[in-house]
Structure 1
Amino acid sequence: KREQIEPVQRHGVHAVVATPGRLKDLLNTKKFNLDLCRYLCLDEGDRMLDLGFDEEVQAIVSFFKKQRQTLLFSATMPKKFQDFAQEVLVRPILVNVGRAGAANLDVIQEVEYVKQEAKIVYLLECLQKTSPPVLIFCERKQDVDDIHEYLLLKGVEAVSIHGGKDQDERNEAIAHFKDSSKDVLVATDIAAKGLDFPDIQHVINFDMPAEIENYVHRIGRTGRCGKTGVATTFINKQVEESSLLDLKQLLLEAKQRVPPVLQAIQDPFAAEEELNVVGGVRGCAFCGGLGHRITDCPKRDKDARRLGAGQRDMLLGSGGYGCES
């Protein structure tokens, strides 16, 4: 922390790039202030909310003494994010580049039905679709480790990152992937958050994420700056139907090929008049998914469980009801 703050205190700076938690900490300890700052930029705002940084951002905003201009960027616009934007922005102007939450049209999306036990073997064939670098996403840390080990045994130059690895291991893996000495990076969503990898040729979703906005973020790692990329997603009967319906609608919207297995899933909101619901909201008002309604939203359910767990931990940890004596 001292190495980071010394240049600011000694010479002053024109701009500070920081994570919300660290910036709030430095402001609280009066290491520097925002008295002269007039410009605030929040990138990947939806991701900040997912990580629970809304309170930190609101605290940072309170340190501005005079009028500020705020820019808030997001790939998706779920209801929770819209409410957050109204709290931190002053007389906001909304600029949409396409539909918020839509997939990048420069990405060729390929969805393949692969049995759970066959996925790791089929991965090798899938890697042949493009030249490196290739990014593989998994939901579970154990799958990251298993895939990494399997690829190494097959002679693939691969590295991996997840929350269970220490920082030095992650930094080394990222450095090797960025300098092209390694062709494949296997990662979880959380480990890859905030990392930028230029010229990704192929994104492979070893698991279909439950929340469609995570899918949009994943495949958005390729097909950047006008270049074309490929995204391959493995699905099977273990994937929730609401997630498959979201995926189906996203493919249709982007004019991508819809595989027979998705075509066969009946969409309860297929009728045109049913797509526009109360308030003009299409699909889910909470997460923006097009294949389900808010009552069936996996992200809403996940947030509710997380909130309930947080309240329970607070009670147990503060002498509340149920606390051990």
Structure 2
Amino acid sequence: MPPAVERLARRYLRQPATVTIGVAGKAVDTVEQRVEFVAGDDRRRQRLLAILGQRTHAPPIIVFVNQKKNVDLLGQALGAARYSVATLHGGKTQEQRELALARLRSGDADVLVATDVAGRGIDVKDVSLVVNYDMAKDIESYTHRIGRTGRAGKKGLAITFVNPADDRDVLYDLRKMIAASPVSRCPLELARHEDAQAPPALAKAAARARPR
């Protein structure tokens, strides 16, 4: 559950119990994680279309975007490319959200473009591919996103587009997450990136301590 809801539950419940499936804060070993450094919206859109165009990943597929307006824009772009798309974000009514998920589950839509609203608390069977069109702002959200695939013991694939200028604060945690996965390989560009070598707070403190 979201951290704010968890805090609220702990405040008002007596002796609350927590049930964890798998290991908290860790990606399951059935999800292969790939990272691609792709800067610029045009290049990301072209790369996403290239991945979908390979037709090697059976629907349903989930594409995560950070902002609500960009969910709708990307959904329109994929629709124009003749993909059957559903969209989901916090600006939708509950009825619209349920319809989007129903379309994905029934096969009426092949691709769901969504914000982190779809990262938690939903169950769509047999998601073969998750694409982080925008990298999540924190590693917890990233873990929940990629957990939409590789469920029930099946293998899944998560591809993440990274823009170092925007995502520098999460590169260290991302590198550690991928390095801990037995089915994933950390790309050299991420492994050697300056911002992936230490936690952001530590790196900033070291930078402030350097003589000028």
Shift of 1:119: 0.8
**Residues 108/192 of structure 1: CA separation in 2 closer, same or farther (3 Å cut):** closer
SS in 2 for 1:108: strand
Shift of 1:52: 3.6
Which amino acid counterpart does residue 203 of structure 1 have in structure 2?
V
CA distance in 2, matches of 1:183, 1:51: 32
Contact 2:57/2:129, CA 8 A, preserved across alignment = yes
Q: Which residue of 1 aligns with 2:186?
A: 258
CA distance in 1, matches of 2:161, 2:5: 29
Q: Is structure 2 residue 196 aligned with structure 1 residue 292?
A: no
- Please identify the structure whose Cα radius of gyration is greater: 1
CA distance in 2, matches of 1:110, 1:103: 13
Q: Is structure 2 residue 145 aligned with structure 1 residue 218?
A: yes
Shift of 1:191: 4.9
CA distance in 2, matches of 1:106, 1:53: 27
**Residues 239/261 of structure 1: CA separation in 2 closer, same or farther (3 Å cut):** farther
- Unaligned segments of structure 2, at least 5 residues: 205-212
CA distance in 1, matches of 2:69, 2:186: 30
Q: Is structure 2 residue 66 aligned with structure 1 residue 120?
A: no
Contact 2:175/2:196, CA 8 A, preserved across alignment = no
CA distance in 2, matches of 1:253, 1:137: 23
Contact 2:172/2:196, CA 8 A, preserved across alignment = no
CA distance in 1, matches of 2:6, 2:186: 36
- Unaligned segments of structure 1, at least 5 residues: 1-46, 62-67, 76-96, 270-290, 298-325
C-alpha RMSD of the superposition:
2.4
- 1:188-227 correspondence to structure 2 within 5 Å: 188-227=115-154
SS in 1 for 2:165: coil
Contact 1:222/1:229, CA 8 A, preserved across alignment = yes
Deviations 1:176-203 (A, max 9, x none): 1111111111111035532111111101
Contact 2:178/2:186, CA 8 A, preserved across alignment = yes
Deviations 1:101-121 (A, max 9, x none): 222111111111112231112
Contact 1:163/1:191, CA 8 A, preserved across alignment = no
Contact 2:33/2:157, CA 8 A, preserved across alignment = yes
Q: Is structure 2 residue 27 aligned with structure 1 residue 103?
A: yes
**Residues 292/155 of structure 1: CA separation in 2 closer, same or farther (3 Å cut):** same
- 1:239-318 correspondence to structure 2 within 5 Å: 239-255=166-182, 256-266=184-194, 292=199
CA distance in 2, matches of 1:267, 1:177: 37
SS in 1 for 2:186: coil
SS in 2 for 1:104: coil
- 1:4-153 correspondence to structure 2 within 5 Å: 47-48=1-2, 50-61=3-14, 71-74=17-20, 97-98=22-23, 100-117=24-41, 118-127=43-52, 128=54, 129-153=56-80
TM-score of the superposed pair, with normalisation by structure 2: 0.84
Q: Which residue of 2 aligns with 1:15?
A: none
CA distance in 2, matches of 1:223, 1:197: 11
Contact 1:202/1:222, CA 8 A, preserved across alignment = yes
Shift of 1:295: 6.1
Percent identity reads 34
Q: Which residue of 2 aligns with 1:179?
A: 106
Contact 2:60/2:110, CA 8 A, preserved across alignment = yes
SS in 1 for 2:49: helix
Deviations 1:270-309 (A, max 9, x none): xxxxxxxxxxxxxxxxxxxxx5276679xxxxxxxxxxxx
CA distance in 1, matches of 2:179, 2:9: 38
Which amino acid counterpart does residue 292 of structure 1 have in structure 2?
P
Deviations 1:90-149 (A, max 9, x none): xxxxxxx55x32221111111111122311121111223411110111110111011100
Give structure 1 regions of 4+ aligned residues with deviation exceeding 4 angstroms.
293-297
Shift of 1:267: 6.9
SS in 2 for 1:240: helix
Shift of 1:250: 1.1
Deviations 1:180-239 (A, max 9, x none): 111111111035532111111101101111211111111111111111000000002233
